[in-house]
Amino acid sequence: MKRIYLDNAATTAVRQEVVEAMLPYFTEYFGNPSSLHAFARDARTGLDRAREQVAKALNVLPEEIIFTGSGTESDNTVLRGVAARYAKKGKHIITTAVEHHAILHTTEMLAKEFGFEITYLPVDEFGMVSARQVEEAIREDTILASIMYANNEVGTIMPIPQIGAICRERGVLFHTDAVQAVGHLPIDVQAQKIDFLSLSAHKFHGPKGVGVLYVRKGLRLPPFIYGGAQEKTQRAGTENVPGIVGLGKAIELATADLSKTNERS
C-alpha cells in the first residue's frame, strides 16, 4: 500500500542532497570544531560554510547567526534573554494569541515567575494581526514584540515588514518566529527591520534537532546555555556539525527557487 504524507507543516522529509552533504561529517570530518588540529579545521569549515549559507538566505551577516537545537530553543533564548537584559527598561512584551506554544508558554512563565505583563493581540477572521494593533499596544515600558511570520495551523502570513518598521521607529525590539516561513517565503531581515528571527531546519527538508537564532549586530543576549565558548559564548556545547551542515544545504536548496518551493508546499 502506498502511503501519502500530508503533514509537511509539522515536519518534512530530508532531501537526498542534504543527506549526502551530511554523511562525511559523521565519518570523515568528525572532529570537534573547537579543537586546534586538522580534524577540527575540517569540521569548522563545514560549520562556517553553513553559517554563510544561512546568512545569504536571510540577507544578514554570518556573525549574526547562532546555531541552536531547535526553533523552540531559539524562541526561548530570545524571550528569556530580552527579559533578563532589558527588565530595567520595562517589563511589557507584545505577542499574539495565536503564537506557537514555544512563545505562549514562555511568556506565561515570564509573567508568572518574573512579573512581566504580556499583551496577547487578538486576530481577525483570517487569523491576522495588523501593524496598527501592534503600534497601539506599544507602551513606554514595552521592550519586545514577538509576532510569528506565518501561522503553523492556518497559514496566515503576518505583515512583518510593517510591524518591523513600527517597532524600529518606536525603539521596541522585534522578534519573529519564522519557523513556518523560512524556505517557503522570501525573507530579507534587513529590509524588514527584524532584530531577532527563529528558524528550524526540519521545516524545509533539513534534519531535525538543529535550528538558528538570528541576532542583529549590536544586540547581545545572555547565554542560554553556559559551559563553553561555542557560538560566541551564546550557546555552549559542542555543535551538531552534521546537522548544521544539513541545515545549510537545505536552506540553500529551499531558497534557490522559492517559486518551485511554494508549488511543492
Mean per-residue pLDDT of the chain:
95
Which three cell numbers mark 95? 505577542
pLDDT of amino acid 39: 85
Within-domain flag for 143: yes
Within-domain flag for 46: no
What integer is the mean pLDDT of 37-47? 92
DSSP state of 232: G
**Chain CA centroid to CA 221, Å:** 14
Number of Cα atoms under 13 Å in the Cβ half of residue 110: 28
Whether residue 265 has pLDDT greater than 60: no
Within-domain flag for 256: no
Within-domain flag for 176: yes
Tens-place pLDDT, residues 125-170: 999 999 999 999 999 999 999 999 999 889 999 999 999 999 999 9
Note the pTM of the prediction, 2 decimals.
Answer: 0.95
Whether residue 260 has pLDDT greater than 80: no
What is the 3-class SS of 35-85, one letter each residue?
CCCHHHHHHHHHHHHHHHHHHHHHCCCHHHEEEECCHHHHHHHHHHHHHHH
pLDDT of amino acid 257: 78
Within-domain flag for 5: no
> What's the length of the chain?
265
Tens-place pLDDT, residues 112-128: 999 999 999 999 999 99
Within-domain flag for 53: no
CATH of the domain at 94: 3.40.640.10
CA 17, 208, 260, 52 dihedral sign is negative
- d(Cα 225, Cα 234) in Å, to the nearest integer? 7
Whether residue 264 has pLDDT greater than 80: no
Percent of the chain with pLDDT over 70: 97
Instruction: Indicate the pLDDT class of residue 63, thresholds 50, 70 and 90.
Output: very high
Q: Which among 87, 89, 68 is positioned nearest to 79, based on CA atoms? A: 87
Instruction: Indicate the pLDDT class of residue 261, thresholds 50, 70 and 90.
Output: low
**Domain with 73 in it:** 64-240
Whether residue 262 has pLDDT greater than 70: no
pLDDT of amino acid 247: 98
Number of domain units in the chain: 1
pLDDT of amino acid 251: 98
Within-domain flag for 19: no
Tens-place pLDDT, residues 198-223: 999 999 999 999 999 999 999 989 99
